[in-house]
Amino acid sequence: MKGIINIPWRSEMDTSTHVAMGIGLAGLSQLSPAVHSDPVLANAVLIGTILGSNAPDFDFLIRIFKGKGAYVEHHRGLSHSIPAVFCWTLLLSLTVWLIFPESSITFISMWILLAVVVHILTDITNPYGTQAGRPFTSKWLSLGFIPLFDPFIMTLHVTGVLLWVFWGHAGIVFLVLYLVIAIYAVIRCYLSRRALKIVRQAFEDDGIITVVPTIHTQQWNFVYENEHVFITGTVCRNQLSIIHTFPKSAFSEIVQNVIVHAEDVQHFLKNSKHVHCLAIPRGSYTEVRFFDLRFRQGDHYPYMAAVAVDFENNILSSAAGWIHHLPKLHKKLISSSSSISRPIS
């Protein structure tokens, strides 16, 4: 639609952003005289904060050992929990201290702990969320006012690093930078609540509404759901535009069987919201696709699970996760179906 700009989603908070935040926290640590006056301790803190800023995402190992479907279900789960905060801090502190044994493990631990906590808090602000409340609650915690990748936050960190290199005074630079980011976050939180109010006013019943941030502070995507329909759209400068309407209907037998027997679908449904399902005939098989409508890229919803089922209700192949290019999905389903056939009825 005219005036609407859709930005491709990243599958998670960009790794480069977490690395930049780790460097930024190391710069902030220069406010401490102990760190500022000891280059060895400063290097230890730098390595520690970079590792700590990325440690919760080390759950990518699940994808290597258990597959993409299991990773989709468990990413940002246990690795972002309260016990994990202390486990990551202890493990990384000991590791860094063994490399720099002459440095204060107290300072190293303090800054690594801060880096891990900042990572998790940052993830909570975006729409995917985390299970940061475990073991007290398995609920996915998401405030949903910072996009999965925010170029403003990234640009500030790059600017801060450049000022550190060419001007020095890293502690002051990153103190100011994080104050600016805090103000920016408050503004975004307010704007997200305003967008939510606009969507609520547009629909009269008590449906479920999720507002999803984009990289533009004046543009917010939304999903509205009631018992009859899903509606996706955009609030841009206080003007609401509807993009897609998906009527709800009872699941067919083939879809019900897929939900019960396809592991990738089960993994996907564990942490998805506003899920719409389509059964698409593909000639020799039927593709059953599940979309999480929160994440829209133009007319495409890239966070999904897809299953190929033959006419005898056999699962031929499946995929789950962030699928930005549909031709690759079709190729994967077709190539996998030649060697996999599992009855589901």
Gap between the Cα atoms of 145 and 122, Å rounded:
10
Each domain of the chain, given as residue ranges in start order, spans 15-188, 206-247, 253-343
DSSP letter for 63, please: H
Report the amino acid identity of residue 49: T
Contact at 8 Å (CB) between 184 and 178? no
- Tokens 């077709």 label which residue? 334
Residue 240's pLDDT band (boundaries 50, 70, 90)? very high
- Tokens 């997200």 label which residue? 192
CA 119 to chain centre: 12
Lookup: tokens for 254: 């083939």
pLDDT digits (tens, 9 = 90+) for 57-74: 999 999 899 888 899 899
Gap between the Cα atoms of 42 and 107, Å rounded:
10
**b/e string for 74-113 if b means 16 or more Cβ within 10 A?**
bbbbbbbbeebbeebbeebbeebbeebeebbbebbbbbbb
Contact at 8 Å (CB) between 152 and 165? no
Question: Greater confidence, 15 or 82?
Answer: 82
DSSP letter for 159, please: H
Residue 245, beta-bridge partner list = 231
Name the residue among 191, 249, 241 with its Cα closest to residue 218: 191
Gap between the Cα atoms of 304 and 275, Å rounded:
9
Per-residue pLDDT for 1 more than 60? no
Contact at 8 Å (CB) between 235 and 305? no
For the segment 239-265, the average pLDDT, to the nearest whole number, is: 91
Name the residue among 310, 311, 312 with its Cα closest to residue 333: 310
Name the residue among 154, 126, 153, 157 with its Cα closest to residue 141: 126
**Of 17-21, 33-37, 151-155, 340-344, where does mean pLDDT reach its minimum?**
340-344
The residue count of the chain comes to 345
pLDDT digits (tens, 9 = 90+) for 191-217: 999 999 999 999 977 899 999 999 999
Report the amino acid identity of residue 57: D
Q: How large a percentage of the chain has pLDDT more than 90?
A: 72
Per-residue pLDDT for 81 more than 80? yes
Gap between the Cα atoms of 257 and 343, Å rounded:
10
Residue 42 is predicted with a pLDDT of 96
**pLDDT, averaged across the chain:** 90
Residue 337 is predicted with a pLDDT of 55
For the segment 250-277, the average pLDDT, to the nearest whole number, is: 90
In 60-109, which ranges are E strands?
none
Q: Is 126 helix (H, G, I), strand (E, B) or coil?
A: coil
Residue 295's pLDDT band (boundaries 50, 70, 90)? very high
CA 26 to chain centre: 24
Contact at 8 Å (CB) between 65 and 198? no
Residue 335 is predicted with a pLDDT of 67
Residue 336 is predicted with a pLDDT of 62
Per-residue pLDDT for 341 more than 50? no
Phi, psi values for residue 132, rounded to 5°: -70, -15
- Relative orientation angle of helices 15-28 and 105-124, to the nearest 10 degrees: 140
